[in-house]
């Protein structure tokens, strides 16, 4: 019963996120609004970690698996990838190097300034 | 036989078996980042569907049940962030500043490189959320008109790239600070990168994990604006 109740809490937050998205017309996905709501609920002690610990451990432990069907959708874009796989790989590689380098530099620079 | 393929059980079971094989191969390879379980599972499922000429709709009957759980899974991403709150407070300006600049770098570099390599607009759009965790990246992709499945593949690819080249890049750019190392890898390569950051040290691992959620939020806000540059 416990895990069912925990799942209910998360679904309620998700529904609230959807309501806020529809109500305000904001361009943030309802799942992300739900994530912010849960964060605020934890900060304000409205929800305690113990009240959602089992369901969140289950979901987070299996997170990668949940993306399998999403990735299988690639089937419908195989042509597109066949044409563009080389630029895709190049962009991923160059961009990842830039992000790691520039992010690291920024953090180091700001740390020196702040301290 | 066809009747069996038309039940949702087929898609769910195929996904589970494919993912288990992915985990097995990953373990056998000594947890080599290139042998990513999710990527292996996607390749296996696609191979089975194409190889046996099974309609994609049959697989989706089961797949949609799995996809449903992504919503709740995204919501609970707030928990790792909440748990790392004390660490965040200690260096809040450098961490938030680094993640903002890193997210900007990620999106802008995709925009400009896509123009440079003359990539299709649909492909370029799908690549914009490449550095964030899949749950959030998928939503961003949907919002800005990308191909969700391509986004998922590119996100996994980015994670693998970051995990493989991360430590070398840190050395080349002389990033020695432990907090900076963790934030850099987490912002660039989400959870897959974080598993590598954990190997570098406890601080790096925690910082990388913390950056996943914040970089996700930054991308949700920045992507729709910056995508107009495409």
A60: domain range?
A: 1-66
**Domain ranges (residues) in chain B:** 2-71, 81-229
Q: What percent of chain B has pLDDT over 90?
A: 80
| Domain assignment present for A74 | no
pLDDT of B136 > 80? The answer is yes
pLDDT of B1 > 80? The answer is no
Residues of B in contact with A19 (CB under 8 A): none
Listed in sequence order, the DSSP H helices in B52-133 are: 56-68, 70-75, 78-83, 85-90, 92-116, 121-127
Task: Retrieve residue A45's tokens.
Answer: 């002690």
Distance in angstroms (rounded) separating the CA atoms of residues A8 and B62 = 22
The phi, psi pair for B185, rounded to 5°, reads -70, -40
In 3D, which of B67, B45, B31 has the Cα closest to residue B192? B31
Average pLDDT (B181-194) is 94
Number of domains chain A contains: 2
Alpha-carbon gap: A26 to the closest alpha carbon of chain B (Å): 11
Residues of A in contact with B175 (CB under 8 A): 100-101, 104-105, 108
Distance in angstroms (rounded) separating the CA atoms of residues B109 and B115 = 10
| Domain assignment present for A89 | yes
Give me the count of residues in chain A.
Answer: 115
Cα distances (angstroms) measured from residue B25 to each of B30, B37, B65, B116: 9, 8, 26, 37
Distance in angstroms (rounded) separating the CA atoms of residues B158 and B189 = 6
Reported as a single tens digit per residue, the pLDDT across B52-92 is 999 999 999 999 999 899 899 989 989 988 988 888 999 99
* A7 and A46, same domain (yes or no): yes
Q: Write down the ipTM of this complex.
A: 0.91
| Domain assignment present for A3 | yes
Per-residue pLDDT of chain A (115 residues; tens, 9 = 90+): 799 999 999 999 999 999 999 999 887 889 989 999 999 999 999 999 999 999 999 998 888 899 899 889 888 888 888 889 999 999 999 999 999 999 999 999 999 987 6
Q: What are the DSSP calls for B178-213, one per residue?
A: HHHHHHHHHHHHHHHHHHHHHHH-HHHHHHHHHHHH
> Can you say whether the dihedral through the CA atoms of B178, B179, B182, B188 is positive or negative?
negative
This prediction's pTM: 0.89
| Domain assignment present for A71 | no
Q: What are the DSSP calls for B116-150, one per residue?
A: HTT--HHHHHHHTTTTS-HHHHHHHHHHHT--HHH
Reported as a single tens digit per residue, the pLDDT across B90-130 is 999 999 999 999 999 999 999 999 999 999 999 999 999 99
Query: Which residues are CB-neighbours of A114 under 8 A, at least 6 positions away?
Result: B91, B93, B94
Cβ proximity of A39 and A22 under 8 Å:
no
Alpha-carbon gap: A65 to the closest alpha carbon of chain B (Å): 7
CB atoms B18 and A81 under 8 Å: no
Give me the count of residues in chain B.
Answer: 230
CB atoms B49 and A72 under 8 Å: yes
Distance, CA of B211 to chain centre: 13
Give the pLDDT confidence score for residue A61 in this predicted structure. 87
CB atoms A93 and B64 under 8 Å: no
Residues of B in contact with A95 (CB under 8 A): 105-106, 109-110, 113, 130-131, 158
At B40, is the pLDDT very low, low, confident or very high (cuts 50, 70, 90)? very high
At B191, is the pLDDT very low, low, confident or very high (cuts 50, 70, 90)? confident
């Amino acid at each position: 019963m416990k895990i069912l109740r925990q799942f209910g809490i998360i679904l309620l937050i998700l529904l609230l996120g959807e309501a806020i998205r529809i109500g305000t017309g904001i361009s943030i996905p309802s799942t992300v609004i739900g994530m912010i709501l849960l964060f605020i609920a934890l900060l304000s002690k409205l929800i305690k970690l113990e009240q959602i610990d089992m369901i969140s451990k289950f979901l987070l432990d299996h997170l990668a698996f949940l993306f399998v069907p999403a990735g299988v959708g690639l089937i419908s874009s195989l042509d597109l990838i066949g044409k563009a796989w080389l630029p895709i790989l190049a962009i991923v590689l160059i961009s990842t190097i830039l992000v790691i380098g520039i992010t690291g530099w920024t953090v180091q620079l700001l740390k020196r300034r702040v301290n | 036989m066809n009747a069996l393929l038309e039940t949702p059980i087929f898609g769910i079971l195929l996904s589970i078996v494919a993912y288990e094989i992915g985990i097995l191969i990953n373990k056998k390879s000594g947890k080599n980042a290139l042998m990513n379980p999710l990527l292996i599972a996607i390749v296996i499922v696609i191979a089975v569907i194409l190889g046996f000429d099974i309609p994609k709709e049959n697989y989706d009957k089961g797949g949609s049940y799995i996809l449903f759980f992504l919503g709740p899974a995204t919501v609970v991403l707030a928990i790792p962030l909440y748990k790392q709150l004390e660490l965040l407070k200690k260096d809040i300006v450098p961490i938030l500043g680094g993640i903002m600049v890193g997210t900007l770098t990620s999106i802008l570099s995709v925009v400009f490189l896509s123009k440079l390599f003359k990539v299709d607009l649909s492909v370029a759009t799908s690549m914009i959320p490449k550095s964030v965790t899949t749950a959030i990246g998928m939503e961003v992709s949907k919002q800005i008109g990308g191909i969700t499945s391509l986004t998922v593949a590119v996100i996994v690819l980015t994670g693998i790239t970051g995990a493989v080249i991360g430590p070398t890049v840190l050395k080349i750019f002389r990033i020695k600070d432990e907090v900076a190392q963790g934030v850099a890898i987490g912002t660039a390569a989400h959870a897959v990168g974080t598993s590598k950051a954990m190997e570098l040290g406890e601080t790096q691992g925690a910082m990388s994990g913390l950056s996943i959620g914040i970089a996700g939020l930054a991308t949700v806000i920045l992507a729709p604006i910056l995508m107009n540059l495409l």
